[in-house]
Structure 1
Amino acid sequence: MSDHTTNPPPGRTGGNILAGAVQPDLFVVLEATHDWPIKDDISSMEYPIFSLSKNRDTRIRVYSRAGRSVRIIPSVVGASTVFDKDILIYCISQIVRGQGAGIKVSRRVRVDVYPFLLGTRRSTGGAAYERVVDMCRRLKGTTIETNIKTNEKEQLEGFGLIEDYRVTSWTKNGKGALELELTISEWLYRAAVDFDILTLHPGYFSLGQALERRLYELTRKHCGDKAWWEISLPLLQEKTGSSQTSRRFKQDIKEIVRHDQLPDYRIFLDESVKPNKLVVMTRENAKLVRDANKAGKLSWVANFLQKKLS
């Protein structure tokens, strides 16, 4: 682990119970860095596994499409949220990074919380270390039942997003985690080691709204390296997992379109068609113009861009 140079975490108490002997099945994340390739598994980007709610969400949610289904069954502490997912993204990214460096990796990961908070652009204040424990509680308690494939392997599975967690070093008040170990699900681990993943822009962690993050995930998955992507608002709402009324959902989409903060992509609302559509375009202007010209849609693209500028 690297030395902390700024905003050091609260003082440690206790110690690492594994001191002197690292278990063979334990993967210790590589040295902390602010510039690490952010990896996310494709299946959880596509399906609304994580709750968008700011409040405790104990609803059982079901999403089905094209023969694929996922049922999310939360515990009494509430469903895991889009923001809880950060620690899974961190672990998956470190596993991929370790594998690329020729290091033996495993589903069991040791996480130094301070670098995790910095790397995911979170506050490093005292309460942040307590929130990490709450994240683990929700991730452990949320059961996912699905037949969605990872790396082309399909079977009905029921599992927690993490199998277990253990705080190995606490803050002075005994409520927050300075260091912990957790075991991610086999489902997510398969995606990481078999590269069933996509790279996210670091700006993802700066998106402050859950819906913004879901929009970016879906856009990254479906638009990818293409110049544009379109989706109807009813289907988009289904894919985001939003439980709002369609009217409120549209209002929130309009606000996100107005602020235009998604990394790599511009977003527009097309109200000229029924149902209305979200239109996503790359911010790479040269690529956008080239592909639009080839497809005979240059005026279509220009119309959206002019509206954005007006």
Structure 2
Amino acid sequence: MSETSVNKTVTEEAVDFFISADGFSTKDSRHFMDVALFRMSKRENRAGEVIRYDLAEGYVEVKAGPDGMASIWDYDIVLMLISHLTESMNLYKKGRGAMPSRLFTPHVSDILEFCRRGDGGGQSERVESALDRLKGTTIKSVFHRSSKNSKRVMREVKSESLISGYRVLSVTASGRVNRVEIEVPSWIYKEIIDNHGSAVLTVNQDYFLIDSAIARFIYRLARRTAGANRAKWGFKTIYERSGVTCFKEFCRTLRNLIRSDNLPDYHLYEEAGLSGPQLIMTRRGKDSSCG
């Protein structure tokens, strides 16, 4: 769906959204929390590469542009815009604000604070580089859906970047990027505007303190599929959903994560399965037999 058609479905009074990070929770898009829409490595740029995830109803492809594939740490900026857009929409529904548009206008210092990063030298340039990678990383989803009125199976194809675009609005006296305008992709905007909060899940603020990319991915997977109870996933399936390139290293890191048992909200343990080792993810405070 084009930008024009999305905006016409809401209101002509839509305005840029920007809200203080204080007093509301971090949100993530529920739809893609069980696949990695980003690279997991800090070292491998993966420019021009494609990661494909084969799913039950189709597949998802993550395509990287010339600036490199967005990383799981770059994706923190997407979490910020999802969180702010969700809060802005909640205020609109309560009659306490205008309908938010697709334009998000934060200061770089607010981005760093939200993502719980320091404001040291070079950080503003890193934010700009992250925005380049987010803009250049395209998510293509191909799903086969059954028609409501017939037995025909329809092929549904969508392709959009992690952000639709950005521009620098101001710089400091020393030349550092100060304020940016980020355009929310229509798939995220439409999900939040149309689904009344059901398209997002709250993420623990300590997520941003997780150093390991695999640990971050496991947390998102647990939040999406275990929720308030438990979920079971085969090591091999998680590996295939993560985009990681070495299964042996993936298993080593996952078992270290299980031993440390310090993931926010969820307890992890391994058990044997018919097709290989399985990861059990249980909400802390819940009995392990919960369904």
Write the distance in 2 (CA, Å) between the matches of 1:269 and 1:83: 27
**Aligned-pair distance for 1:200?**
0.7
Q: Closer, same or farther in 2 for the Cα pair 1:242/1:112, shift >3 Å? A: same
Q: Closer, same or farther in 2 for the Cα pair 1:155/1:185, shift >3 Å? A: farther
Aligned partner (choices 82, 96, 113) of residue 86 of structure 2: 96
Write the distance in 1 (CA, Å) between the matches of 2:108 and 2:50: 30
Q: Do the aligned partners of 2:64 and 2:137 also contact (CA within 8 Å) in 1?
A: yes
Write the distance in 2 (CA, Å) between the matches of 1:210 and 1:270: 23
**Aligned-pair distance for 1:43?**
1.9
**Aligned-pair distance for 1:219?**
0.5
Aligned partner (choices 32, 37, 46) of residue 44 of structure 1: 32
- Counterpart of 2:109 in structure 1 is 114
Q: Structure 1 stretches of 5 or more lacking a match?
A: 1-22, 296-310
Aligned partner (choices 236, 245, 254) of residue 243 of structure 1: 245
- Cα deviation per residue 1:114-161 (whole Å; 9 max; x = unaligned)? 122112211111221111101100011112211369xxxx83112211
Instruction: Determine whether 1:260 maps to 2:243.
Output: no
Q: Do the aligned partners of 1:38 and 1:200 also contact (CA within 8 Å) in 2?
A: yes
Instruction: Determine whether 1:211 maps to 2:206.
Output: no
Q: Do the aligned partners of 1:43 and 1:148 also contact (CA within 8 Å) in 2?
A: no
Q: Do the aligned partners of 1:223 and 1:229 also contact (CA within 8 Å) in 2?
A: yes
1:179-218 paired onto structure 2 within 5 Å = 179-193=179-193, 194=195, 195=197, 196-218=199-221
Q: Structure 2 stretches of 5 or more lacking a match?
A: 1-11, 145-154
1:222-233 paired onto structure 2 within 5 Å = 222-226=225-229, 228-233=230-235
**Aligned-pair distance for 1:46?**
1.9
- Counterpart of 2:140 in structure 1 is 145
Q: Do the aligned partners of 2:17 and 2:88 also contact (CA within 8 Å) in 1?
A: no
Aligned-residue identity in percent: 26
Q: Closer, same or farther in 2 for the Cα pair 1:274/1:237, shift >3 Å? A: same
Write the distance in 2 (CA, Å) between the matches of 1:42 and 1:192: 10
Write the distance in 1 (CA, Å) between the matches of 2:79 and 2:192: 10
Counterpart AA for 1:257: I
Instruction: Determine whether 1:220 maps to 2:223.
Output: yes
Counterpart AA for 1:241: G
Q: Closer, same or farther in 2 for the Cα pair 1:271/1:127, shift >3 Å? A: farther
What TM-score, normalized by structure 2, do the two folds share?
0.83
SS where residue 266 of structure 1 aligns? strand
**Aligned-pair distance for 1:31?**
2.5
- Counterpart of 2:18 in structure 1 is 29
**Aligned-pair distance for 1:274?**
4.6
Structure 1 stretches of 4+ with a deviation exceeding 6 A read none
Write the distance in 1 (CA, Å) between the matches of 2:173 and 2:270: 49
Rg (Cα) greater in structure: 1
Write the distance in 1 (CA, Å) between the matches of 2:212 and 2:161: 24
Q: Do the aligned partners of 1:26 and 1:110 also contact (CA within 8 Å) in 2?
A: no
Q: Closer, same or farther in 2 for the Cα pair 1:132/1:26, shift >3 Å? A: farther
Q: Do the aligned partners of 1:51 and 1:80 also contact (CA within 8 Å) in 2?
A: yes
- Counterpart of 1:57 in structure 2 is 46
Q: Do the aligned partners of 2:40 and 2:213 also contact (CA within 8 Å) in 1?
A: yes
What TM-score, normalized by structure 1, do the two folds share?
0.78
Counterpart AA for 1:238: E
- Cα deviation per residue 1:253-295 (whole Å; 9 max; x = unaligned)? 11111222211101112257650111112211xx316xx3x77
Q: Closer, same or farther in 2 for the Cα pair 1:43/1:272, shift >3 Å? A: closer
